[in-house]
């Protein structure tokens, strides 16, 4: 029986479809990172869920609860108090807005404005800290208060000092205005000159309120906005966030707490190896839940279009590249208000400005952890400052270009996270018995 013409054409076409070319392996050099990241991410999540499902089934077979919720109730206790303190902090932030308005209208002098601003920031720092340390809050609740307080301090600092610098720049450029009018500027040059132009009329209560709500720490008078709000995306990010936090809780409950119990009795090296994978896993789940899910959820709800909250830090070949990519929001704030301002306003040399950035960042991290755990043990700050030597090591051309830099990065993150977790847990459980 003779085949139809269409089938013959199809066979003829398929017969010579494959053509050999000089092409790299997909994993070695992917033309589109999404071709790898989507499948790898989904596979990782499926394998992770299967690990926890196996643990749940094992608990059922032993006659134990599928999920122990006692720890969850303990960690989430005091959330109403957290919301109350956050509301008070939000209202207090408007002091900085009105200080700026009074200064623009020349009701108060610049010296008075700086004094009032400093007092306002001290109160914003001290009062929430007092509540976190004295009220009966859980670790998560105390950490949430400290973190939100740090965010508001950084936001109000950026609002005040960005406006101050723009106003001074505008006043200094006034004498040259006539000269510039005589020159013909192209559209591109005109766009560059007006990109950071200060306009007092744009500093409204509405814009300042949105700035406090936007997922950004750096103040600008204009932000890119989306045309509409996608409730489908909001539901997606919300479900992913809940799922990642639930997996984080299971990881802590099934793998980390048992290791913390053994840390009081067994060899340090053995516990460090046992905690290496769960500690990095908890860090990755927290990163995904906060930096991807929560921040995108907030951005989508408030129609904030700039969603670059992180870059591909997992591909970083050096530690300084990692710090530049893993938290874009904090990096931009430190780059503008610590790194650049220290060099321009205080004439600090560039290497010292870099050290200052690490020092302030380490102190902020340590403060939040110390407030959460109710004791001061500078393990996190020491680990961050100790990365200076690793930064220069990973910058060696052979290490950086051969791919070993990325391996060193992940080894340091894995071992470092484990050591820091053990350090805090040993002291915490010696102070607060684990059965409580």
Q: Is 70 assigned a catalytic role?
A: no
Query: CA–CA separation, 249 vs 66, rounded Å?
Result: 13
DSSP 224: -
Beta carbons of 301 and 228 less than 8 angstroms apart? no
Looking at per-residue confidence, does 23 or 232 come out higher? 232
Query: CA–CA separation, 288 vs 64, rounded Å?
Result: 30
pLDDT category at 36 given cuts 50, 70, 90 is low
- Given the residues 207, 292, 335, 365, select the one marked as catalytic: 365
Q: Give the pLDDT score at 206.
A: 92
Query: Per-residue pLDDT for 281 more than 80?
Result: yes
Query: CA–CA separation, 111 vs 109, rounded Å?
Result: 5
Q: What is the pLDDT of residues 333-358, one digit of tens each?
A: 999 999 888 888 888 888 888 889 88
Q: Which residues contact 173 (CB under 8 A, 6 or more apart)?
A: none
Q: What average pLDDT does range 129-147 have in this prediction?
A: 91
Tokens of 47: 């394998």
Residue 32: other Cβ atoms inside 10 A: 9
Query: CA–CA separation, 146 vs 387, rounded Å?
Result: 25
Looking at per-residue confidence, does 354 or 4 come out higher? 354
Tokens of 374: 């109710």
Query: Per-residue pLDDT for 332 more than 50?
Result: yes
Q: What is the pLDDT of residues 376-386, one digit of tens each?
A: 888 888 887 77
The helix (H) or strand (E) run that includes residue 400 is helix 397-401
Looking at per-residue confidence, does 262 or 291 come out higher? 291
Q: Give the pLDDT score at 191.
A: 44
Q: Give the pLDDT score at 52.
A: 83
DSSP 313: G
pLDDT category at 215 given cuts 50, 70, 90 is very high
Q: Output the DSSP codes for 230-261.
A: -HHHHHHHHHHHHHHHHHHHHHIIIIIHHHHH
Q: Give the pLDDT score at 189.
A: 44
Q: What average pLDDT does range 38-51 have in this prediction?
A: 78
Query: Per-residue pLDDT for 211 more than 90?
Result: yes
Q: Is pTM, for the whole model, over 0.95?
A: no
Beta carbons of 429 and 264 less than 8 angstroms apart? yes
- Chain-centre distance of CA 370, in angstroms? 19
> 116-120, 144-148, 321-325: which range is least confident on average?
321-325
Q: What average pLDDT does range 102-124 have in this prediction?
A: 91
- Chain-centre distance of CA 86, in angstroms? 19
Query: CA–CA separation, 100 vs 113, rounded Å?
Result: 8
The per-residue pLDDT of the chain, averaged, comes to 81
Looking at per-residue confidence, does 400 or 89 come out higher? 89
Q: Give the pLDDT score at 157.
A: 94
Tokens of 35: 């071709």
Q: What is the pLDDT of residues 413-432, one digit of tens each?
A: 888 878 888 888 777 777 76
pLDDT category at 45 given cuts 50, 70, 90 is confident
Q: Output the DSSP codes for 338-398.
A: IIIHHHHHS---HHHHHHHHHHHHHHHHHHHHHHHHTS--THHHHHHHTHHHHHHHHTSHH
Q: Give the pLDDT score at 172.
A: 61
Residue with tokens 């990095």: 280
DSSP 304: B
Cβ neighbourhood burial of 94 (10 Å; 0-12, 13-18, 19+): middle
Q: What average pLDDT does range 86-97 have in this prediction?
A: 95
Query: Per-residue pLDDT for 183 more than 60?
Result: no
Tokens of 241: 């966030």
Beta carbons of 160 and 94 less than 8 angstroms apart? no
Distances in Å between the Cα of 138 and the Cα atoms of 75, 86, 87, 177 are 5, 16, 19, 58
Query: Per-residue pLDDT for 201 more than 80?
Result: no
Beta carbons of 153 and 123 less than 8 angstroms apart? no
pLDDT category at 89 given cuts 50, 70, 90 is very high
């Amino acid at each position: 029986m003779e085949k139809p013409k269409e089938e013959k054409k199809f066979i003829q076409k398929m017969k010579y479809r494959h053509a050999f070319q000089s092409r790299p392996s997909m994993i070695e050099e992917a033309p589109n990172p999404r071709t790898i990241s989507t499948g790898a991410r989904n596979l990782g999540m499926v394998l992770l869920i299967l690990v926890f499902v196996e643990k749940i089934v094992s608990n059922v077979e032993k006659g134990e609860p599928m999920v122990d919720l006692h720890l969850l109730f303990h960690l989430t206790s005091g959330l109403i108090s957290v919301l109350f303190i956050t509301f008070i902090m939000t209202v207090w932030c408007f002091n900085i807005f009105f200080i700026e308005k009074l200064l623009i209208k020349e009701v108060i002098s610049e010296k008075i404005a700086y004094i009032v601003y400093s007092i306002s920031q001290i109160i914003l720092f001290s009062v929430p800290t007092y509540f976190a340390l004295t009220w009966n809050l859980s670790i998560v609740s105390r950490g949430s208060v400290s973190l939100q307080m740090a965010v508001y301090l950084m936001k109000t600092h950026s609002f005040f000092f960005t406006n101050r610098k723009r106003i001074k720049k505008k006043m200094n450029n006034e004498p040259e205005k006539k000269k510039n009018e005589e020159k013909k500027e192209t559209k591109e040059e005109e766009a560059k000159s007006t990109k950071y132009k200060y306009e007092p009329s744009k500093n409204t209560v509405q814009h300042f309120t949105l700035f406090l709500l936007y997922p950004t720490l750096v103040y600008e008078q204009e932000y890119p906005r989306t045309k509409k709000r996608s409730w489908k995306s909001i539901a997606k990010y919300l479900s992913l966030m809940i799922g990642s936090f639930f997996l984080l809780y299971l990881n802590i409950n099934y793998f980390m707490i048992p290791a913390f119990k053994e840390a009081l009795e067994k060899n340090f090296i053995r516990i460090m190896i046992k905690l290496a994978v769960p500690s990095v896993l908890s860090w990755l789940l927290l990163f995904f839940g906060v930096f991807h899910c929560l921040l995108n959820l907030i951005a989508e709800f408030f129609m904030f279009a700039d969603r670059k909250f992180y870059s591909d830090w997992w591909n970083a070949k050096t530690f300084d590249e990692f710090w530049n990519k893993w938290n874009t929001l904090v990096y931009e704030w430190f780059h503008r208000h610590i790194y650049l301002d220290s060099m321009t306003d205080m004439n600090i040399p560039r290497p010292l400005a870099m050290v200052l950035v690490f020092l302030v960042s380490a102190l902020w991290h340590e403060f939040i952890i110390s407030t959460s755990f109710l004791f001061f043990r500078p393990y996190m700050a020491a680990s961050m400052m100790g990365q200076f030597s690793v930064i220069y090591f990973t910058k060696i051309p052979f290490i950086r270009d051969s791919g070993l830099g990325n391996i060193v990065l992940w080894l340091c993150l894995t071992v470092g996270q484990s050591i820091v977790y053990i350090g805090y847990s040993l002291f915490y459980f010696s102070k607060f018995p684990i059965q409580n």
